[in-house]
């Protein structure tokens, strides 16, 4: 069955080609939508079939490599276009195709009436192709291809409505468009990709291979823990991850990526692309286990990002921006988990986060659609009566992300927090715990301001529930948000932690190298769990208390703290001044004017001028007067005779 794995990629590719080449000719939303969503659905079915087969077979034989063709064969560098189907990659594939399929369905309804409907689905399918390449690749180079590919699709999709005005950091207010946001995403990602690329070079230099299995084998055999090279390799890989997964310092593109259509935000910037960094670190768990220093850095940055982003999400008024900062914050949690060695917990949170964050974004899209592209929550309110399904599913997702048991978010987040505490950093746990409280707060602020209370919108808006095509995915994701956590119920609560056991073979080698966990008592575990729930519930109630009073809504406190948060700690401005402007100026003055115009053009033009001058002189030989020619003859004869005589 696993031999069909290439079809999982080939189907969306076919969808991309069909919609891309003929979409305009079809001129039918039905056909484009059917092709676009259909291929993903079939891909999901295939992935599920492979998963079932893997379940049925013993753990040792669950990992396969399906090689399609030899891609690069250059001396000692051989890279195959090959897929590794193992427990981790099939899990990611299921998430990508499953959630992807639901979002594709949703998009048929959301993008209804858009003139470039076919193009949207073509790009979405291309994105799925690239993402699948990323998660199923069996070597770094193919993974990097997918990495770059999803970055490209992100650019294409963020800037889908390329002329719309959109305020993004770094440009004068009112002048930026969605195209600028797309550019920002791509360029910031590029910085991370640079790190990734250097890391690949170093890996090849160190281990003479780029295949995961070969590299990990050699690494565990040869490298000592704490090796300098491994430190740099893992650090550079993590730099790539900070770019793609929006961690400090490269998170700035994600809030601006909200310029794209909401399904894009749901798919790419919540469920799949941004988790690529987490997947990559998890895949290279062995390398990270061999470099404890990097793991500490990962954990610290993850925690800091989680906290930082949550603070910014507290004050945003754009519904999608709140969710964007929430995504950054939750990604921070995932890295926190990875950084302390809880690889499975990180991947667990990827899965649950995909469910409820996608649901949140799709719900937001439903609201935006109903409110005719209004995105400011201070202008909403009272929508729960007009949009019941959206409200209910949104509420469920908010509960899930706040970590209320027995919803999915509780199990995954709690696992991460517990492991952080157990692996030795109480400080990190504390920060994570406070962040959980903030998460609940801003999430329910969002719920209350959007759906509850008295409506604050005018008579020009007629919100109504979205069509079935849009609400069905919401319901499905809602169900998943409720039951998704049961795959990873920890033993302390009587579960068997199926997920941990499923992924154990993948991370076994890595966990060997980690310093042993201090065994924490079960009581401690219960205590921490209760603390997590308390934080979540507290956040909800504080939000309810603050925002139930109508006069609080929309009131902007005058405090400097508020201003700091509102302006996102001025990070964009700092980057602009410190990095962007010098680079742009330097390029303009030095590289363009100085070098390109003067030196290179100078050389080219100078050569032409030289030849021109030379030929001006040489043409004088062609005087029309015969005697000049005769003189030339005689001179020539004299010279030749002279040479002959002298011989």
Partner 1 sequence: MNLEPIVFIVTGLVALVSAILMVTRRNPVKSVLFLIVNFFCLAVIYLLLRAQFIAIIEILVYAGAIMVLFLFVIMLLNMGTEETRREGKQRRGLFAAFLGTAVFVEILVGLRLPTGEAESGISTSAGQMGTVESIGKTLYTGYIFPFEVTSLLLLAAMVGVIVLARRKIL
Partner 2 sequence: MDQIPLSYYLILSAALFSIGVAGVLTRRNAIIVFMCIELMLNSVNLTLIAFSSFFGNPAGQVLVFFVMAVAAAEAAVGLAIIIAIFRNKQTVDIQDINILKW
Q: Interaction with partner 1 in 588-627: which residues (CB under 8 A)?
A: none
**Nearest alpha carbon to residue 276 among 93, 4, 484, 409:** 93
620 binds partner 2 per the rule CB under 8 A: yes
Listed ranges 83-91, 98-106, 529-537, 619-627: which one lies at the site for partner 2 (CB under 8 A):
619-627
DSSP letter, residue 406:
T
Q: Which is nearer to partner 2, 577 or 630 (CB)?
A: 630
Closer residue to partner 2 in complex, CB, 577/623: 623
Q: Which does 644 bind (CB under 5 to 8 A by kind): partner 2, partner 1, none?
A: partner 1
Backbone angles phi, psi at 115, to 5 degrees: -65, -25
Which residue of 560, 626, 644, 645 would you call a contact of partner 2, by CB under 8 A?
A: 626
Residue 177: strand, helix, or coil: strand
Among 61, 454, 523, 622, binds partner 2 (CB under 8 A): 622
557: three-class secondary structure by DSSP: coil
Among 152, 155, 164, smallest CA distance to 183 is for 155
Residue (603 or 630) nearer to partner 1, CB: 630
Q: Packing angle between helix 408-422 and helix 343-370, nearest 10 degrees?
A: 140
Q: Does 625 bind partner 2 (CB under 8 A)?
A: yes
Tokens of 444: 């329910």
Residue 75 interacts with partner 2 (CB under 8 A): yes or no? no
The DSSP bridge partners found for residue 211 are: 139
Rounded to a whole number of angstroms, the CA Rg of the chain reads: 30
Rounded-to-integer distance, Cα 47 and Cα 413, Å: 27
Query: Smallest distance, Å, CB 627 to partner 1?
Result: 9
- Alpha helix segments (H runs only) across 452-580: 468-483, 498-513, 522-547, 560-566, 571-575
Distance CA 168, CA 171 (A): 6
Instruction: Note whether 645 binds partner 1 by CB under 8 A.
Output: yes
The answer to whether the beta carbons of residues 240 and 277 sit under 8 Å apart is yes
Residue 619 touching partner 2 (CB under 8 A): yes
Q: Are 244 and 192 in contact (CB under 8 A)?
A: yes
Question: What distance in Å separates the CA atoms of residue 228 and residue 284, rounded to the nearest whole number?
Answer: 17
427 scored as a contact of partner 1 (CB under 8 A): no
* Among the residue ranges 142-150, 225-233, 258-266, 625-633, the one whose residues contact partner 2 (CB under 8 A): 625-633
| Closer of 459 and 619 to partner 2 (Cβ) | 619
Peptide bond into 406 cis (omega under 30): yes
**Minimum CB distance to partner 1 smaller for 577 or for 634:** 634
642 binds, among partner 2, partner 1, none (CB under 5 to 8 A by kind): partner 1
583 lines the binding site for partner 1 (CB under 8 A): no
Does the CA dihedral 351-343-212-496 come out positive or negative?
negative
Total site size for partner 2, rule CB under 8 A? 11
> Residue 642 CB, nearest distance to partner 2 (Å)?
15
Residue 644 binds partner 1, judged by CB under 8 A: yes
Comparing CA positions, the residue from 166, 171, 165 lying closest to residue 576 is 171
Closer to partner 2 by Cβ: residue 595 or 633: 633
CA distance 46 to 68: 17
- Confirm or reject binding of residue 222 to partner 1 (CB under 8 A): no
- Minimum Å distance from CB 620 to partner 2? 7
Under 8 Å CB-to-CB from 151, ≥6 apart: which residues? 185, 186, 189, 190, 193, 244, 273
Residue 597 or residue 637: which is nearer to partner 1 going by CB? 637
Residue closer to partner 1, measured from CB, 483 or 631: 631
User: Considering the rule CB under 8 A, would residue 638 count as an interface residue with partner 1?
Assistant: yes
Cβ proximity to partner 2, 558 vs 644, nearer residue: 644
Tell me which stretch binds partner 2 (CB under 8 A): 295-303, 353-361, 429-437, 622-630.
Answer: 622-630
Binds partner 1 by CB under 8 A, chosen from 73, 593, 634, 636: 634
Residue 556 in contact with partner 1, rule: CB under 8 A: no
Residue 623 near partner 2 by CB under 8 A? yes
Residue 641 is a binding residue for partner 1 (CB under 8 A): yes
Q: Are 101 and 134 in contact (CB under 8 A)?
A: no
Return the range that interacts with partner 2 (CB under 8 A); candidates 81-89, 406-414, 503-511, 615-623.
Answer: 615-623
Long-range contacts of 631-638 (CB under 8 A, 24+ apart): none
Burial label for 387, CB within 10 Å (0-12, 13-18, 19+), is: buried
Q: Rounded to 5 degrees, what angle do the CA atoms 105, 126, 99 make?
A: 35
Indicate which of partner 2, partner 1, none lies near residue 626 (CB less than 5 to 8 Å, by partner kind): partner 2
Q: Please answer whether residues 363 and 377 qualify as being in contact, where contact means their C-beta atoms are separated by less than 8 angstroms.
A: no
Q: Under rule CB under 8 A, how many of the chain's residues touch partner 1?
A: 9
Element (H, E) at 73: strand 64-74
Contact in structure between 407 and 478 (CB atoms under 8 Å): no
- Residue 620 interaction partner, one of partner 2, partner 1, none, beta carbon < 5-8 Å per kind: partner 2
Which listed option, partner 2, partner 1, none, makes contact with residue 619 (CB within 5 to 8 Å by class)? Answer: partner 2
What is the H or E stretch that residue 85 is in?
strand 77-85
Residue 641 interface partner, choices partner 1, partner 2, none, CB cut-off 5-8 Å depending on type: partner 1
Q: How far is the CB of 598 from partner 2 (least distance, A)?
A: 33
584 near partner 1, rule: CB under 8 A: no
Q: Shortest distance, CB of residue 629 to partner 2, whole angstroms?
A: 10
Nearer to partner 1, 599 or 637 (CB): 637
Q: Which member of 62, 631, 632, 643 binds partner 1 (CB under 8 A)?
A: 631
Minimum distance from residue 641 beta carbon to partner 1 (Å) = 5
Binding partner selected for residue 73 from partner 2, partner 1, none, CB under the kind-specific 5 to 8 Å limit:
none
3-state secondary structure of 101: helix
Q: Mention every residue, 6+ apart, whose C-beta is less than 8 A from residue 413.
A: 333, 349, 403, 436, 532
Stretch that binds partner 1, among 294-302, 340-348, 511-519, 638-646 (CB under 8 A): 638-646
The answer to the question of residue 624 lying near partner 2 (CB under 8 A) is yes
Q: Using an 8 Å Cβ cutoff, are 238 and 281 in contact?
A: yes
CB 306 within 8 A of CB 329: yes
Q: What is the DSSP letter of 165?
A: B
Per CB under 8 A, residues contacting partner 1 are 631, 634-635, 637-638, 641-642, 644-645
Per CB under 8 A, residues contacting partner 2 are 619-620, 622-627, 630-631, 634
């Amino acid at each position: 069955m696993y031999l069909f794995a290439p079809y999982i990629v080939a189907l969306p590719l076919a969808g991309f080609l069909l919609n891309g080449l003929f979409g305009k000719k079809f001129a039918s939303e039905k056909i484009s939508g059917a092709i676009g969503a259909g291929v993903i659905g079939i891909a999901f079915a295939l992935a599920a079939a492979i998963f079932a087969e893997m379940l049925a077979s013993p753990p040792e034989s669950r990992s396969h490599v399906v090689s399609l063709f030899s891609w690069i064969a250059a001396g000692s560098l051989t890279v195959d276009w090959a897929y590794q189907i193992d427990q981790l990659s099939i899990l990611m594939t299921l998430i990508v195709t499953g959630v992807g399929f639901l979002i594709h369905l949703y998009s048929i309804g959301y993008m209804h009436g858009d003139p470039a409907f076919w193009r949207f689905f073509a790009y979405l399918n291309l994105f799925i192709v690239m993402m699948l390449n990323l998660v199923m690749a069996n070597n770094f180079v193919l993974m990097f291809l997918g990495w770059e590919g999803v970055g490209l699709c992100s650019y294409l999709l963020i800037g889908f409505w390329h002329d719309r005005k959109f305020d993004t950091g770094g440009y004068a207010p009112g002048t930026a468009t969605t195209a600028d946001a797309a550019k920002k995403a791509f360029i910031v990602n590029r910085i991370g990709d640079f790190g990734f690329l250097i890391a690949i070079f170093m890996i090849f230099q160190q281990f003479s291979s780029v295949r995961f299995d070969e590299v990990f084998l050699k690494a565990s055999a040869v490298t000592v823990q704490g090796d300098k090279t491994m430190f740099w390799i893992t650090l550079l890989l993590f730099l790539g991850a900070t770019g793609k997964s929006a961690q400090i310092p490269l998170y700035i593109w994600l809030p601006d990526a909200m310029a794209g259509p909401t399904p894009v935000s749901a798919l790419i910037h919540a469920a799949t692309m941004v988790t690529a960094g987490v997947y990559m670190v998890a895949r290279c768990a062995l390398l990270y286990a061999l470099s404890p220093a990097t793991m500490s850095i990962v954990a610290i940055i993850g925690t800091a990002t989680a906290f930082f982003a949550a603070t910014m999400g507290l004050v945003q008024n754009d519904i999608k921006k709140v969710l964007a900062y929430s995504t950054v914050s939750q990604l921070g949690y995932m890295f926190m988990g990875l950084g302390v060695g809880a690889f499975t917990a990180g991947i667990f949170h990827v899965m649950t986060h995909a469910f409820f964050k996608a649901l949140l974004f799709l719900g937001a899209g439903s609201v935006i659609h109903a409110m005719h592209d209004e995105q400011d929550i201070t202008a909403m309110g009272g929508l729960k009566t007009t949009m019941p399904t959206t409200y209910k599913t949104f509420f469920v997702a908010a509960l899930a992300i706040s970590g209320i048991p027995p919803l999915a978010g509780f199990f995954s987040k709690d696992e991460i927090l517990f492991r952080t505490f157990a692996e030795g950093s109480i400080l990190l746990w504390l920060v994570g715990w406070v962040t959980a409280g903030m998460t609940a707060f801003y999430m329910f602020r969002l719920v209350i301001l959007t759906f509850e209370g008295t409506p604050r919108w005018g008579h020009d808006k007629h919100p109504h529930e979205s069509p079935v095509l849009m609400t069905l995915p919401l319901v499905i994701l809602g169900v998943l948000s409720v039951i998704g956590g049961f795959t990873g119920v920890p033993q302390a609560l009587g579960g068997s932690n199926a997920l941990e056991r499923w992924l154990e073979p993948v991370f076994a080698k890595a966990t060997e190298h980690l310093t042993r966990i201090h065994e924490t008592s079960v009581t401690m575990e219960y205590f921490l769990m209760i603390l997590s729930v308390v934080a979540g519930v507290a956040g909800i109630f504080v939000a309810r208390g603050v925002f139930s009073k109508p006069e609080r809504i929309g009131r902007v406190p005058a405090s400097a703290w508020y201003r700091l948060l509102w302006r996102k700690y001025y990070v964009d401005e700092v980057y602009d001044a410190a990095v962007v402007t010098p680079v742009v100026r330097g390029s303009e003055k030095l590289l363009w004017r100085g070098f390109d115009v003067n030196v290179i053009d100078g050389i080219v033009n100078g050569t032409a001028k030289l030849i021109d001058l030379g030929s001006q002189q040489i043409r004088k030989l062609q005087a029309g007067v015969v005697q000049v020619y005769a003189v030339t003859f005689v001179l020539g004869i004299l010279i030749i005779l002279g040479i002959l005589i002298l011989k």
